[in-house]
Amino acid sequence: MQTTLVSPTRPVAAVMNRRRWWITSAAVALAATLAWQPHARALAMEAPDALIQRVGTEVFEAVKRDPALRNGDIARIMELVDTRLMPHVNFERMTASAVGRFWRQATPEQRQRLMAEFKILLVRTYSGALTQIRDQTLVIRPLRAAPDATEVVVRSEIRGGKGDPIQLDYRLEQTPTGWKVYDLNVMGVWLVETYRTQFAQEIAAKGIDGLIAALAERNRANANAQRS
């Protein structure tokens, strides 16, 4: 038995009006949903200290499970960085802050090359720390920030193993897609500030292309040293 969608005895105009009412209602509901979603995401956004705790724990556990990571396999470390860390890092801001006022002078191509070489430099510089992870844990200190703060510092310590706890702090900014790290403090030294001084000297002497070439050369030297 077939179901008749429009009864022959019902006026066509009434059916059309009813259809227009449903279409209009659906459009209004869709618009309301889209307008509400950013607010809902903001309410559900992971707190910055919770984010650092979760991601840090994931990285520590990944290293403990993977012998290649503990042995300093750069390909595996890069994969770990790309999949677990980079989604939570504003790397463009980090690189721009390290390059300083010269960033505005860089072309889009130069900016991409700077970010690529800077990323490799950081991964190779800090990859040795990953090889030392055994039974250490990341302990997050109480967050001190206003409820409506859009930039915060999350302070933590790496505890366990031999020696004193290692201070590890993060500067984060709030974005529409969650909190993002844009600077890192290891044992009292902020990463961006350290590189900003070095980069400014290189740019003053040889320009932006000179800095890119210097970073590429340093990365090649680090790669050769790790292979030997």
**CATH number for position 77:** 3.10.450.710
Ranked by mean pLDDT, which of 9-13, 66-70, 129-133, 169-173 comes out on top?
169-173
Pair (131, 103) in one structural domain:
yes
Distance from C-alpha of 70 to C-alpha of 132, rounded to nearest angstrom: 7
CA neighbor of 226 nearest in space, from 81, 123, 83, 95: 123
| Domain match, 148 and 165 both | yes
Task: Pull the structure tokens for residue 76.
Answer: 């595996």
In this structure, the answer to whether residues 112 and 161 fall within a common structural domain is: yes
Residue 99 has pLDDT above 80, yes or no: yes
Nearest to 179 by CA among 36, 78, 53: 53
Task: Note whether 86 and 171 are same-domain residues.
Answer: yes
**Where residue 204 falls among pLDDT bands split at 50, 70, 90?**
very high
Extract the tokens encoding 133.
Answer: 């992870």
Q: Give the predicted TM-score (pTM) of the model.
A: 0.76
20 has pLDDT over 90: no
Q: DSSP assignment, residue 100?
A: G
Record the tokens describing residue 66, joined without a space.
């993977």
- pLDDT value of residue 44: 58
Is there a domain that residue 4 lies in? no
List alpha helices for 45-180, DSSP H.
48-65, 67-70, 74-80, 91-99, 108-131
Q: How many domains does the chain have?
A: 2
Residue 184 to residue 176: CA distance in whole angstroms:
21
Q: What is the pLDDT of residue 6?
A: 31
Q: Do residues 213 and 152 both lie within one domain?
A: yes
What is the span of the domain harbouring residue 198?
A: 46-227
Mean pLDDT, rounded, for 51-59:
95
Q: How confident is the model at residue 74 (pLDDT cuts 50, 70, 90)?
A: confident
Single-letter residue type at 67: P
Q: Which residue has the higher pLDDT, 191 or 1?
A: 191
pLDDT value of residue 226: 73
Range 208-227 average pLDDT: 92
By CB neighbour count within 10 A (0-12 exposed, 13-18 middle, 19+ buried), where does 54 fall?
middle
